[in-house]
Every structure is written in C-alpha cells, then in structure tokens.
Amino acid sequence: MAGRTSQKTLITGAHGQLGRTLTAACAARGIEHEGRDIDTLDICDARAVRRWIVDAHPSVVVNTAAFTAVDACEDNEEQATAVNGLAVGYLAAACNEVGAMLIQISTDYVFPGDANLPYREEDLVAPTSAYGRSKLSGEELARSAHRHLVVRTAWLYGRGGRNFVEAIRTQIDAGALSLKVVADQRGCPTFCDDLADAVLDLAAAGSTGTIHAVNSGSTTWHGFAVEIARLLGSAATVVPVTTGEVPRPAPRPPYSVLDTTRFEAALGRPMPPWQDGLRRYLEQA
C-alpha cells in the first residue's frame, strides 16, 4: 500500500502510542497528514473540532484520542463519556460537513467478557466497566458519520507510552526474580505498528462498518508476560494468579478474544501473530 496519495488524513490523539505510530505510518506511505493532541485541540470543544476539520478538508479522520485509564474511568465516568463518547459525535458531525470518513478506534471492553468463542462484530455488546460504556457511546456516535469505520482492538502496546510490556520490562530491569501476573483473563495482545498498518489499509480499501483488528492468536496476561520475559532473556519466574488476588476498581473481561474473519476478508490477510509483533517491538524499543 506504499506510495504517494493526495488524500489528507487527520489524526487525533497524535501524542499517544497509536497516534504516534499512525503519524509515522502516514509519513512512510507519503500520505498527507496532520496530527493534533490536547495541547493543540480539545476534542470536547465542538467549535474547535469543526474549525479544524472544515479548514483542513480531509478525506479521513482517525480518532485515537481517548480517556484510557480504565480504573480512573470508574470514578470519572462523566469525563470519560465526554472524551470517549460525546466528542466522537462532534468529529462525526464535522466529517459529514466535508464528506470525510471517520475512523473510530474502539475496544474489546464493549463486550461483557463471558464468551468462550471469539467475539464477532455483530455479537451482543454489554460493557461491564465505565471505560467500556464510554467507548460504546463513542461507537454509537461514530456511526452518525455518513462514512464511518469502527475498528475494535485490544491489549494495545507501542512506543512512547505506558503499556503492559513496559511494566513487565521495568520490573525485570529492576532485578525482580518473581512476577505475579493474572492468568484468568484471555485476549489478543496487539502491536501499534501492526494496527496502524491495518487502519490505513482498511481506509485505502474503502472498508466501512465495524471491524475487529488485533494480532493473530490469543493468550492470557500471564502467557504474555512469560513471552516478554523469554524474549528479554530473563530468568524471572512468572507466577500465575487469579483476578481475585489482584482486585482493581474496574472489572476486566475474563475473555475478550476478537474474531478477525471480517478483517481477513477485507484485506485478504490476517494480522501477524501476537508473538511476532512482540518480538519486533522489543527489538525496536
């Protein structure tokens, strides 16, 4: 998909892990682009959002801006809904004005987490956390854009931000010989580089609707940590624990594996295995 194009892409949340990666991916493909974050655009300011999008007249707007502190959302649901929900409506309205496509990045947290088979796009959504509820609101408002694509992803990590991989690496670098990691939550670790390529490829293919995009395969947080330690050459023991042993303010879905059949049909390929994404991340980071 490399090559120069005249289409302009706007990216919100440009300082975040995915926003940074998308910006770099646009540059590598020769896509004209502009990124903004809270220092230059408050997406909760409807007038500012409209002015930016109308003035730039983009073909695509990718919204990666979000209130992602899952536990903090429990005590700040109104703020989370404003950022993850209402602001998406402002983006959608402005996109409609200029005929742009809105790509909304969403999450596995919109599902209840009680399944035993990978969630499909059309499966029942029933979030159990404030974060999940706020992101579901964002999905619903994104669909008010005449041209829209909701991309659900999960367990995201990339350069330039806090993430699970760095949390494990930090403990290992500090000399930890034993790490306790939850073993009863299963999902799909996803590398920002792979997701950014997926988003741009879906946009280029003209995909619309709702699509799940995660690295192939699934594991538990414990299995993820074991692979991180192995790739780092660490002798630390990763001890499996239950969710109940490490309680958190926000409930986590026990099972949030996403089915990617629709993604594979759209692009004719799966995303790389999660182990491969992790290896590349650790080699680069």
Would you state the pLDDT for residue 7? 79
* CATH at 118: 3.40.50.720
Active-site residue 119, yes or no?
A: no
Q: Which tokens is 67 given? A: 């209130």
Closest CA to 212 of 103, 88, 120, 78: 120
Do β-strands 5-12 and 60-63 pair in parallel, antiparallel, or remain unpaired?
parallel
What stretch of H or E contains 217? none
Do β-strands 5-12 and 31-36 pair in parallel, antiparallel, or remain unpaired?
parallel
Residue 99 lies in a domain: yes
DSSP state of 169: H
pLDDT tens sequence across 62-93: 999 999 999 999 999 999 999 999 999 999 99
Residue 174 lies in a domain: no
129: phi then psi, degrees, rounded to nearest 5: -125, 160
Question: Exposure pattern of 245-265 as b/e (b: 16+ CB <10 Å)?
Answer: eeeeebbbbbbbbbbbebbee
Residue 208 lies in a domain: yes
pLDDT tens sequence across 16-51: 999 999 999 999 999 999 999 999 999 999 999 999
- Indicate the SS3 state at residue 254: coil
> Which position has the token pair 């005449």?
146
49 burial via Cβ count (<10 Å: 0-12, 13-18, 19+)? buried
CA-atom Rg of the chain in angstroms: 18
Question: pTM above 0.85?
Answer: yes
252: phi then psi, degrees, rounded to nearest 5: -105, 140
179: phi then psi, degrees, rounded to nearest 5: -125, 130
pLDDT at residue 170 above 70? yes
Q: How far apart are CA 33 and CA 77, in angstroms?
A: 32
> Which position has the token pair 């026990």?
254
Residue-level length of the chain: 285
For residue 14, give its domain range: 5-162+189-216+256-272
DSSP state of 216: B
Residue 170 lies in a domain: no
Number of domains comprising the chain: 1
Write the CA distances from 196 to 29, 153, 176, 189, 244, integer angstroms.
12, 11, 33, 14, 34
- Indicate the SS3 state at residue 214: coil
Residue 229 lies in a domain: no
Would you state the pLDDT for residue 161? 82
Mean pLDDT of the chain: 96
Residue 143 lies in a domain: yes
- The dihedral through the CA atoms of 70, 74, 80, 86 has a sign that is positive
pLDDT tens sequence across 248-269: 999 999 999 999 999 999 999 9
Residue 42 lies in a domain: yes
Would you state the pLDDT for residue 160? 85
Q: How far apart are CA 1 and CA 197, in angstroms?
A: 9
Of the candidates 131, 157, 255, 281, the residue annotated as catalytic is 131
Residue 90 lies in a domain: yes
pLDDT tens sequence across 86-132: 999 999 999 999 999 999 999 999 999 999 999 999 999 999 999 99
Q: How far apart are CA 104 and CA 50, in angstroms?
A: 17
